[in-house]
Amino acid sequence: MSYVDEVLDLLVAKNPSQPEFHQAAKEVLESLRVVIEENEEEYRKDALLERLTTPERVILFRVPWVDDKGQVQVNNGFRVQFNSAIGPYKGGLRFHPSVNLGIIKFLGFEQIFKNSLTGLPIGGGKGGSDFDPKGKSDREVMAFCQSFMTELNKHIGADTDVPAGDIGVGGREIGYLFGQYKRIRNLYEGVLTGKGLTYGGSLARTEATGYGLLYFTEEMLKSNGKDIKGATIAVSGAGNVAIYAIQKAQQLGGKPVTCSDSTGWIYDPEGIDVELLKEVKEIKRARLTEYAAKRPSAQYHEGKGVWTVKCDVALPCATQNELDLEDAKTLVANGCYAVAEGANMPTTLEATEYLQANGILFAPGKASNAGGVATSALEMSQNSERLSWSFEEVDQKLKGIMVNIFHNVDDASRKYGMEKNYVAGANIAGFQKVADAMKAQGIV
Ligand code: NDP
């Protein structure tokens, strides 16, 4: 049996009931096959893949808090410190009822390669809780965040592990978490990113993942003789990534016509009104029905359906496995020519394979959504320097990083004879740096 197959079998046996983690590991290791086979004996002897797929540390903890009725609630807290070969652990916190250990491990594993691709010195980690901020008062969210940080603070630090936001963790949550860290540790340091501008945040961090997705997509289209200008774009999600992807797409001359949340979706043939979307989602924290009520050109539909809309480019920006094989078939039949992932692993393995087999340009999230974590690393640099850079300076650096990621991914895919397979290119380019650093640091 090949070394890759052996490790995948072992991983499934050792981590039962974690399908998302299995899926992420399979996607990565399958595409590393060519690289692993070149050095199979050495990697096997060093158990490189076993070490790469086993987190350095997993922290599980109880998060008790008191709701507005005086009732004590208990949630699960997680932090997976996956790999620190190239820098301190870095990766977001997700607060969503679906969160479990397998989901945090899949996200932490992906983060290793994504962070490596940015070219910046950051290792891979991820964390979160099954707490649902939706429908909670600000006081309840604060009580939860303070309890969560009361345990988490023991395991993180500006040079150890630097969490950020993800689904359900935005500026409000980061503020409460930072306040509690500072209070307990008596340290004012860049321990979290995505902070507010008055206390160490970076300009352009809020926009970074969505903007970065579009910089990557623009470069990918350009290198394939296509143009984002004039393209009709289907976007899913209506959160941080989706909103700023829509905004940058419009600035580049594209026309995003959809968005969605967990209850329904919008088709707006005149193009999404991004200011209205921000008001509904960022300020009022309301459902998309409010968008439709204020926008005569918009049609609201219950459930799922964004990928049925005819488009040139699809940008899944909501959550994992939201674009399946049926969706992929519909996109291809409707003439879509590019899919770029804003979310983490939004496309199922079968859908990815179908899209690639049908000649669709497919950008995997670990490359195309790396702008968020890259800008988080720029926030860390500014905190260390105790300086703040201008919006333009950060945005310029972000664009340079995304263009560079595209070319590194493209070059790696060509080098191994898999031209335009950006999934393989991203995994190979991300892996090589981490593997070299792990080898240099010995058996740890
Ligand atoms: P937000 O919480 O801001 O927004 C998430 C959006 O997706 C919301 O519109 C939400 O709808 C929808 N959504 C979430 N879960 C589901 C679900 N199970 N089914 C259908 N819709 C769902 O999160 P972000 O925009 O920050 O994150 C979106 C994706 O991008 C995630 O995969 C995240 O890991 C990834 N990502 C985020 C980065 C960042 O910087 N924020 C960086 C890199 C990747 P509703 O409002 O109804 O919950």
pLDDT for position 179: 98
In the chain, DSSP finds a helix count (H) and a strand count (E) of: 17, 13
Return the structure tokens found at 329: 């078939």
pLDDT for position 113: 98
CA distances from 375 to 229, 340, 431 (A): 25, 19, 21
pLDDT of the chain along its 444 residues, tens only? 899 999 999 999 999 999 999 999 999 999 999 999 999 999 999 999 999 999 999 999 999 999 999 999 999 999 999 999 999 999 999 999 999 999 999 999 999 999 999 999 999 999 999 999 999 999 999 999 999 999 999 999 999 999 999 999 999 999 999 999 999 999 999 999 999 999 999 999 999 999 999 999 999 999 999 999 999 999 999 999 999 999 999 999 999 999 999 999 999 999 999 999 999 999 999 999 999 999 999 999 999 999 999 999 999 999 999 999 999 999 999 999 999 999 999 999 999 999 999 999 999 999 999 999 999 999 999 999 999 999 999 999 999 999 999 999 999 999 999 999 999 999 999 999 999 999 999 999
Q: Does domain 208-363 have CATH number 3.40.50.2000?
A: no
Cβ of residue 165 lying under 6 Å from some atom of ligand 1:
yes
Q: Closest ligand 1 atom to the C-alpha of 165?
A: 41
The residue type at 110: E
Q: CA torsion, points 243, 246, 250, 256, in degrees to nearest 10?
A: -140
Q: Whose CA is nearest to atom 37 of ligand 1?
A: 166
CB contact at 8 A, 202 and 389: yes
CA 344 / ligand 1 centre spacing (Å): 9
Q: Indicate the top mutation candidate among 103, 109, 167, 209 to test ligand 1's pocket, ranked by most ligand atoms within 8 A of CB.
A: 167
CB neighbour class for 333 (10 Å; exposed up to 12, middle 13-18, buried from 19): exposed
Closest to 362 (Cα-Cα) out of 373, 349, 377: 349
CB contact at 8 A, 248 and 211: yes
Q: Closest ligand 1 atom to the C-alpha of 243?
A: 25
Cβ of residue 111 lying under 6 Å from some atom of ligand 1:
no
Q: Closest ligand 1 atom to the C-alpha of 318?
A: 7
Tell me the C-alpha distance between 275 and 266, whole Å: 15
Sign of CA dihedral 280, 96, 248, 264: negative
Looking up tokens 């977001």 gives 92
Pick the catalytic residue: 126, 255, 281, 304? 126
CA distances from 9 to 17, 25, 53 (A): 14, 11, 12
Q: Whose CA is nearest to atom 22 of ligand 1?
A: 262
Q: Architecture of 3-188 per CATH?
A: 3-Layer(aba) Sandwich (3.40)
**3-188 and 208-363 share one fold:** yes
Q: What are phi and psi of 256, to 5 degrees?
A: -75, 130
Which own/partner contact pairs does 133-139 have at CB distance under 8 Å and 24+ positions apart? Answer: 133/95, 133/168, 133/169, 133/173, 134/168, 134/285, 136/67, 137/68, 138/172, 139/68
**What residue segments make up the domains of the chain, in order of their start?**
3-188, 208-363
Cβ of residue 238 lying under 6 Å from some atom of ligand 1:
yes
Global pTM value: 0.95
Tell me the C-alpha distance between 118 and 68, whole Å: 42
Q: Closest ligand 1 atom to the C-alpha of 370?
A: 43
CA 304 / ligand 1 centre spacing (Å): 15
Return the structure tokens found at 334: 């409707």
pLDDT for position 2: 95
CA 2 / ligand 1 centre spacing (Å): 37
Which pLDDT tens digit goes with each residue over 22-62? Answer: 999 999 999 999 999 999 999 999 999 999 999 999 999 99
Q: What's the order of all strands across the beta sheet hosting 299-302?
A: 258-260, 264-267, 299-302
